[in-house]
Structure 1
Amino acid sequence: MSDFDDLTSESILSDIREKTKEPPMYKVLMHNDDYTTMDFVVSVLMSIFNKSTFDAEQIMMRIHKEGIAVCGIYTYEIAETKVNEVHNLARHNGFPLKSTFEKV
């Protein structure tokens, strides 16, 4: 390979790195309510957010005490999907559990 090819390759890679940006991130929040059981919240955190039992219980207590807690941080599409999954699972089980997401 010639020196020209090396310079061109490096130049192209440098341009790509400069133009490539990390996607914006969004935090998924879960809100407290007076009807959804603590056990159900722990179950949702474990199944949808892949939290360990310990982490799920800690987040659930934060939701219970503070009224809201972060469940995870994701790209827009994944955050939106997680919120929809929470709402669908909650409604299917008869709970009004609310989840939202906002830009970090």
Structure 2
Amino acid sequence: MAGSHDDISFLQHSPVFARLAEGHCPEVNFEINGHDYNKGYYLPDGIYPQWSTLVNTIPNSQGEKRQRFAQMQESARKDVERALGVLQSRWGIVRNPALTWSTQKL
């Protein structure tokens, strides 16, 4: 569920986001409206920190272009959440990866 405690817990324990917090991110090159970008980005909901690699939906977006962007972003985020939900329901390792770790590693 979006905005849940598990989302924040995941962020705090994720090596990907730990590297982002340190200013390291995967290099991805793309161009939008004539502007070159070299960092990838993630589509979070509103509970995450304001980092340059986390692109939140535009709240109360005004204008057709911004409304369309917000709609498409929200749609993409929901698609990813659904896909992860399917993976979690089919393979427990995705849902509870620590279950495969040794007691010493935990």
TM-score (norm 1): 0.27
Relative to its length, the structure with more strand (as a share) is 1
Which of 1 and 2 has greater Rg? 1
Relative to its length, the structure with more helix (as a share) is 1
Specify which structure has the bigger relative contact order, considering alpha-carbon pairs within 8 angstroms and separated by 6 or more residues.
Answer: 1
